[in-house]
Structure 1
Amino acid sequence: MRRVSRIAAAGVATAALAVSATACGGTSSDAAGSKGDGKNKGVAIAYDVGGKGDQSFNDAATAGMDKVAKDLKIGKKAVEPTDGESDADKAQRLTELAKQGYNPVIGIGYAYAPAVKEVAAKFPKVTFGIVDDATIKADNVSDLVFNEEQSSYLAGVAAAKASKKKSVGFIGGVNNNLIRKFEAGFVQGVKDTDKSVKIKRQMLTEKAEDGGFSSPDKGKEAASGQIEGGADVVYHAAGLSGQGVIEAAAAEKVWAIGVDSDQYKQKALAKYKKYILTSATKDVAGAVYNLTKSVQDDNAKGGVVRADLASGGVALADSNPEFKKMKDLQAAVKKAEQDIKSGKIKVKTTL
């Protein structure tokens, strides 16, 4: 979830190195090493909105980068976005990483699509990855996408089963096609489980640059309103803003459902974890790891790499012991998962 720069810094120590949006050097593809024929320095990722420390989407990418760098004994580098940046700024960032000898170079979030398309054409021997976008058709670009609607459906099943007030909420960061997939799956999961459950829905902003993915205060305000209106389970797909959703749920002692990463396990959210029922996860870490390994093994291929429930690329976490105690809920989630995998349940991507 995601996407322009982090407004509320999360203050987590990191091995990632920041790169200025006004980095020096041109974008010529014939600069030294610019075609990827120098020594490979390892994997580089360019963060989406919220940056490192969002406890969600970007942190999942960081985990994948850290693990593959350790396992394969290669270098790594991560760079932050800047407030109000343009596609040209993103392209400059990716260009610098490619020139420096990193391979693969991965844009974390669909906002990087124009930049990845432009820069990949200039560096044909460098493998590029982009998470949450499947629009780039190039031999050296891997489109890393997920069936988020499937895990969101399971979140809807869990919410309907856990709600005592027959009222649940959904909070999306930005009103776009990606977040509407989360919303659609969640709503379908709730309604297929219990048609009597009411669903409150809200998108924080219309555009990412207005802070929908990077403003915990916006998330907290929205969640507080839904809880005041009767919701006792609130699911967010809002990146860093989701921390505010979880904080509001904990304050009112109702359930929150996290997203992307298993938010019950996030250290920065430890004081709230008692109220994080589950999380609809997607294996961004695995996508970063697998793409990097394919480059190291010299068998990287371009095209769409899609992860779903069947592949384990999306899932519903069960880390909270309270979740494991809810046998009826667990049975309903397990059945729904089986039915999605078998094709009996077709999860919608739009309402």
Structure 2
Amino acid sequence: MTKTKWIKWAQVSTLALTLALVAVGGAALAPAEAKDVKKLAILTPEDPTDFGWNQQGFDAAKAVAEKEGLEFMPATGLGYGDVHPTLRELADDGASLMIAHASGYNTAAPEIGAEKGVAVAIVDKPDAIKEGAVTDYTLSGHEGAYLAGVLAAKTSTTKSVGIVVSGEPPSWNSQSAAFAQGVKATDPAVKILYAVIGPAAYSDAAGGRRVTESVIGAGADVIFGQGDGATFGMLQAVETTKSTGGGNVWFIDVIGDKTSIDKGHLLSSVVWNLVPVFTAMVEDLKADKFGTKPYSIQLSDDSVQLLKTKHIPDDVWASVSETRKQIVDGSLKIEPVWEAEKVRALMSSVTDAPAQ
């Protein structure tokens, strides 16, 4: 072979090799094939009838399953004990994603998820996020809770409002702190009474009523209640107890909308819409992006809203709406406070009332 022919052959061979490498590289760089997601499961500690955490989670998961064409696999009323068997059963039945809708499940779910190779979503454990396997949705309605604090301060006639909680998980803490900040920013003279029913008294309606009655007796005429099933007891206390000033007591709820059972005392609610959250989880799972980030809710996309009821005067609502606008446009920033100790430091008075 002459030198000229060898050079031409080498050039052709190099070009062929380059094209081959480009083809291989192109295949390697091509988008990964979408994951086949067929079944969506959710586990809740209580039945989805609380107009709150359990019902909003159940309803959102069901809506997302219908929207995405997935089989819906609910497991409700599981309590707060060991859910390993239920998680295994759901995984064996083909769940593509298991939403463990309780902080008490955030250890068992990743364990069974790893054992069965199923993606899981948990709450109150953001440090457990693992790419492709575990995500966290420790949600905070603190922006809406700040608005609730503004509303409470403008509504109270006794100049005293109460926060009653069924425990101190991060989501409750961030809302309690923001509510207190909203109250103080609106009227620093308003006293804030803070009471804890118990360490995990989420379904303790009797405790919710007893503790709320004591907070009303201490002067509060607006109650910001966070408790899942325990809020029914809080609402009963508000409906049957007069304020120390002789007037009505108002209730501000969280997560759900109890308007349909209101007897004239539901002032508002910090409503959460979990459909965008669960939709994002499913879409991220399909796109192989699951477990790469936590999820949140906020006023800007209406995944958090403050409920307007007929009990709120127009001028008061206009003031609340102006504050909402400031939060959405960024001129007023509300940072979440997750730690119970920091929350307690914001209160005028703190009462621990273990469930009896």
TM-score bracket relative to the smaller structure: 0.7 to 0.9
| 1:114 matched to 2:102 | no
Instruction: Quote the residue 1:260 is aligned against.
Output: 255
How far apart are residue 155 of structure 1 and its match? 1.0
Q: Which has the larger radius of gyration?
A: 2
Is the alpha carbon distance of 1:84 and 1:138 closer, same or farther for their aligned partners in structure 2, counting shifts above 3 Å?
A: closer
For 1:134 and 1:273, locate their aligned partners in 2 and report how far apart those are by CA, in whole Å.
Answer: 39
For 2:273 and 2:145, locate their aligned partners in 1 and report how far apart those are by CA, in whole Å.
Answer: 14
| 1:335 matched to 2:335 | no
For 2:101 and 2:67, locate their aligned partners in 1 and report how far apart those are by CA, in whole Å.
Answer: 21
Could you tell me whether the CA contact under 8 Å between 2:221 and 2:250 is conserved in 1?
yes
1:296-335, aligned counterparts within 5 Å? Answer: 297-298=286-287, 301-302=290-291, 303-318=293-308, 320-323=309-312, 326-335=313-322
Sequence identity, in percent? Answer: 25
For 1:133 and 1:273, locate their aligned partners in 2 and report how far apart those are by CA, in whole Å.
Answer: 38
> What SS does the aligned partner of 1:105 have?
strand
1:72-83, aligned counterparts within 5 Å? Answer: 72-83=68-79
Could you tell me whether the CA contact under 8 Å between 1:62 and 1:285 is conserved in 2?
no
The match for 2:228 among 215, 221, 239 is 239
How far apart are residue 300 of structure 1 and its match? 5.1
1:1-351, aligned counterparts within 5 Å? Answer: 42-48=39-45, 50-83=46-79, 85=81, 89-124=82-117, 126-139=118-131, 140-206=133-199, 208=200, 212-252=201-241, 253-264=248-259, 267=260, 270=261, 272-292=262-282, 294-295=284-285, 297-298=286-287, 301-302=290-291, 303-318=293-308, 320-323=309-312, 326-341=313-328, 342-349=330-337, 350-351=342-343
The alignment's TM-score, normalised by the length of structure 1, stands at: 0.77
> What SS does the aligned partner of 1:240 have?
helix
Could you tell me whether the CA contact under 8 Å between 1:40 and 1:101 is conserved in 2?
no
How far apart are residue 259 of structure 1 and its match? 0.6
How far apart are residue 186 of structure 1 and its match? 1.0
How far apart are residue 246 of structure 1 and its match? 1.1
Deviations 1:62-88 (A, max 9, x none): 111222233344321221354562xxx
Is the alpha carbon distance of 1:84 and 1:305 closer, same or farther for their aligned partners in structure 2, counting shifts above 3 Å?
A: closer
Could you tell me whether the CA contact under 8 Å between 2:99 and 2:120 is conserved in 1?
yes
Q: CA RMSD in A?
A: 2.4
For 1:109 and 1:317, locate their aligned partners in 2 and report how far apart those are by CA, in whole Å.
Answer: 24
Could you tell me whether the CA contact under 8 Å between 2:140 and 2:171 is conserved in 1?
no
How far apart are residue 298 of structure 1 and its match? 4.8
> What SS does the aligned partner of 1:305 have?
coil
How far apart are residue 54 of structure 1 and its match? 1.9
Query: Mind listing any 5+ residue stretches in structure 1 that lack a counterpart?
Result: 1-37
For 1:155 and 1:62, locate their aligned partners in 2 and report how far apart those are by CA, in whole Å.
Answer: 25
Is the alpha carbon distance of 1:83 and 1:261 closer, same or farther for their aligned partners in structure 2, counting shifts above 3 Å?
A: closer
The alignment's TM-score, normalised by the length of structure 2, stands at: 0.76
How far apart are residue 179 of structure 1 and its match? 2.4
Could you tell me whether the CA contact under 8 Å between 1:68 and 1:293 is conserved in 2?
no
How far apart are residue 276 of structure 1 and its match? 0.9
> What SS does the aligned partner of 2:47 have?
coil
Deviations 1:107-139 (A, max 9, x none): 002222111221222233x32212444222212
> What SS does the aligned partner of 1:310 have?
helix
How far apart are residue 262 of structure 1 and its match? 2.1
Query: Mind listing any 5+ residue stretches in structure 2 that lack a counterpart?
Result: 1-34, 242-247, 344-356
Could you tell me whether the CA contact under 8 Å between 1:41 and 1:76 is conserved in 2?
no
For 1:257 and 1:193, locate their aligned partners in 2 and report how far apart those are by CA, in whole Å.
Answer: 17
How far apart are residue 343 of structure 1 and its match? 4.7
How far apart are residue 180 of structure 1 and its match? 2.1
Figure out how many residues of one structure are paired with residues of the other and give that number: 296
For 1:274 and 1:300, locate their aligned partners in 2 and report how far apart those are by CA, in whole Å.
Answer: 46
> What SS does the aligned partner of 1:102 have?
coil
> What SS does the aligned partner of 2:41 have?
strand
For 2:198 and 2:324, locate their aligned partners in 1 and report how far apart those are by CA, in whole Å.
Answer: 31
**Which residue identity lines up with residue 97 of structure 2 in the other structure?**
P
